[in-house]
Amino acid sequence: MEQKMNRQTATWIWYPGDFEIRLHEKMSVVRRARGVMYPAYWRLDRCYSNIKFRYTYDLAKEEQIHITAEGRFSFYLDGKDNYRSADAVITLPAGRHVISVSVFNDVEAPALFIDGPTVRTDSSWEVTSYQNDWMQAGSWTFDTMEYPPSQFRLPTTPLEPATLTMRDGYPLLDFGRETFGYLQFHNVTGTGTVRVYYGESMAEALSPDECVTLDRFEALEATDNSENGIYTFKEAKAYRYVWIHADQGVGWERISMLYEYVPVTYRSSFQCSDPMMNKIYEMSLYTLHLNTREFFLDGIKRDRWVWSGDAYQAFLMNYYSFFDLDVTRRTLVALRGKDPLTMHINTILDYSLYWFISLYDYYLYTGDFEFIQQYYDRAVSLMDFCLKQRNEEGMVEGRPQDWVFVDWADFQNDGAVSTEQILLVRGLEAMSRFASLMGDEAAAGNYGDLAKETISKTLRIFWDEEKGGLLHHRVEGETKPTLTKHASMFAMTYGYLSQEQRDSVVRNVMLNPDVPKIRTPYMRFHELAVLCESGAHDLVRREILSYWGGMIELGATTFWEEYDPSLADDEHFGMYDVKFGKSLCHAWGAGPIYILGKYFLGVTPTSPGYETYRIAPNLGGLAHMKGTVPTGAGQVSVEMSLSTISVESTTGTGVLTFSSAESPVCNEGEVRDVGNGSYEVIIEAGNIYRVSYQPMK
Among 54, 63, 66, 74, binds a second copy (CB under 8 A): 74
Q: Which is nearer to a second copy, 84 or 457 (CB)?
A: 84
Which CB, 34 or 96, lies closer to a second copy?
34
Please report, as residue ranges, which positions from 289 to 318 form the binding site for a second copy (by CB under 8 A). none
38 binds a second copy (CB under 8 A): yes
Where do runs of H (alpha helix) occur along 320-438?
Answer: 325-336, 349-366, 369-387, 418-437
* Options 9, 41, 64, 661; binder of a second copy; rule CB under 8 A: 41
How does DSSP classify residue 156?
E
Q: Which stretch binds a second copy (CB under 8 A): 38-46, 179-187, 355-363, 583-591?
A: 38-46
**Which string of x and - marks every residue 382-411 that binds a second copy (by CB under 8 A)?**
-------------------x----------
Residue 130 Cβ, how far from a second copy at the closest point, in Å?
5
Q: Does the footprint of a second copy cover residue 106 (CB under 8 A)?
A: yes
The binder of a second copy chosen from 4, 29, 147, 380 (CB under 8 A): 29
Phi-psi region of 155 (alpha: psi -120 to 50; beta: other; left: phi over 0): beta
**Shortest distance, CB of residue 150 to a second copy, whole angstroms?**
12
Q: Which residues contact 550 (CB under 8 A, 6 or more apart)?
A: 563, 565
Closer to a second copy by CB, 133 or 440: give it.
Answer: 133
- Least separation in angstroms between residue 136's CB and a second copy is 18
Q: Which segments of 31-155 are extended strands (E)?
A: 32-33, 36-37, 50-59, 63-70, 72-77, 89-92, 95-104, 111-115, 126-128, 135-136, 138-139
Beta partners for residue 483, in sequence order: 471
Measure CA of the first residue to CA of the last residue in the chain; give whole Å.
Answer: 72
* 88 Cβ contact list (under 8 Å, min separation 6): 66, 67, 68
* 2 contributes a contact to a second copy by CB under 8 A: no
* 193 sits near a second copy (criterion: CB under 8 A): no
Give the C-alpha separation, 605 to 600, whole Å: 15
Q: How far apart are CA 27 and CA 295, in angstroms?
A: 9
Question: Considering beta carbons, is residue 377 or 414 the nearer one to a second copy?
Answer: 377
Distance CA 312, CA 296 (A): 9
Q: Is the peptide bond before 340 cis (omega within 30 degrees of 0)?
A: yes
Q: State yes or no: residue 165 binds a second copy (CB under 8 A).
A: no
Q: Residue from 84, 480, 624, 626 that binds a second copy (CB under 8 A)?
A: 84
Q: Which residues contact residue 513 at a Cβ distance below 8 angstroms, ignoring those fewer than 6 apart?
A: none
Determine which residue in the list 129, 313, 488, 501 makes contact with a second copy, applying CB under 8 A.
Answer: 129
Cβ closer to a second copy: 344 or 486?
Answer: 344
**Cβ count within 10 A of residue 451:** 20
One residue of 6, 8, 79, 132 binding a second copy per CB under 8 A: 132
**How far is 486 from 524, CA to CA, in rounded Å?**
10
CB of 212 to a second copy, least distance (A): 8
Residue ranges with strand state E in 478-542: 478-479
Q: Rank residues 1 and 36 by Cβ distance to a second copy and give the closer one.
A: 36
Stretch that binds a second copy, among 223-231, 263-271, 512-520, 575-583 (CB under 8 A): 575-583
- Min separation Cβ 105 and a second copy, Å: 10
CA distance 433 to 578: 44
Stretch that binds a second copy, among 37-45, 242-250, 320-328, 453-461 (CB under 8 A): 37-45
Cα(198)–Cα(205) distance, rounded to whole angstroms?
A: 5
- Interatomic CA distance for residues 693 and 150, integer angstroms: 56
Give the interface segment with a second copy, choosing from 103-111, 250-258, 273-281, 370-378 (CB under 8 A): 103-111
> Which residues neighbour 591 within 8 Å (Cβ) at sequence distance 6 or greater?
284, 313, 317, 521, 524, 525, 528
Count of beta carbons in the 10 Å neighbourhood of residue 167: 13
- The minimum distance between CB 556 and a second copy, in angstroms, equals 23
Stretch that binds a second copy, among 66-74, 90-98, 464-472, 648-656 (CB under 8 A): 66-74
The one among 60, 220, 475, 578 contacting a second copy by CB under 8 A: 578
Query: Residue from 14, 15, 19, 48 that binds a second copy (CB under 8 A)?
Result: 48
Q: Which is nearer to a second copy, 123 or 347 (CB)?
A: 347
Of 259, 209, 298, the residue nearest 582 (C-alpha): 298
Stretch that binds a second copy, among 33-41, 449-457, 544-552, 664-672 (CB under 8 A): 33-41
Q: Which is nearer to a second copy, 45 or 648 (CB)?
A: 45
Residue 439 CB burial class (10 angstroms; 0-12, 13-18, ≥19):
exposed
Would the CA dihedral through 202, 208, 212, 218 be positive or negative? positive
For a second copy, which residue of 3, 9, 39, 475 counts as binding (CB under 8 A)? 39
Contact 457, 467 (CB under 8 A): no
Measured torsion, CA atoms of residues 148, 153, 157, 159, in degrees rounded to the nearest 10: -160
Q: How far is the CB of 241 from a second copy (least distance, A)?
A: 21
56 binds a second copy (CB under 8 A): no
- Round to whole Å and give the CA distance between 652 and 635: 10
Q: Pick the stretch among 1-9, 77-85, 527-535, 625-633 that binds a second copy (CB under 8 A).
A: 77-85
Sign of the alpha-carbon torsion through 369, 373, 374, 376: positive
Among 66, 77, 104, 694, binds a second copy (CB under 8 A): 104
Please classify residue 394 by burial: count the beta carbons closer than 10 Å to its beta carbon, then call 0-12 exposed, 13-18 middle and 19+ buried. middle
With CB under 8 A as the contact rule, the residue among 9, 33, 279, 391 that binds a second copy is 33
Q: Measured between alpha carbons, how far is 319 from 326 in angstroms, rounded to an integer?
A: 12
What's the chain's length in residues?
Answer: 697
Tell me if 35 contacts a second copy by CB under 8 A: yes
Point out which span in 140-148, 504-512, 517-525, 577-585 binds a second copy (CB under 8 A). Answer: 577-585
| x/- letters, 107..126, toward a second copy (CB under 8 A) | x-------------------
Binding of residue 209 to a second copy (CB under 8 A): no
Our finding on whether 36 is near a second copy (CB under 8 A) is yes
Strand-strand pairing, 603-605 and 612-615? antiparallel
The answer to whether 86 contacts a second copy (rule: CB under 8 A) is: yes
Site string for a second copy, 334-373 (x = CB under 8 A): -----xx-xx---x--------------------------
Q: Which stretch binds a second copy (CB under 8 A): 72-80, 477-485, 541-549, 625-633?
A: 72-80
Q: How far is the CB of 128 from a second copy (least distance, A)?
A: 9
How many whole angstroms separate alpha carbon 279 and alpha carbon 10? 45
* Residue 553, C-beta contacts closer than 8 angstroms, at least 6 positions apart: none
Q: How far is the CB of 163 from a second copy (least distance, A)?
A: 30
Told to check if 235 binds a second copy by CB under 8 A, we report no
Of residues 367, 581, 621, 669, which one binds a second copy by CB under 8 A?
A: 581
Point out which residues bind a second copy (CB under 8 A): 25-26, 28-29, 33-44, 46, 48-50, 52, 72-74, 81-86, 102, 104, 106-107, 129-133, 339-340, 342-343, 347, 401, 576-578, 581
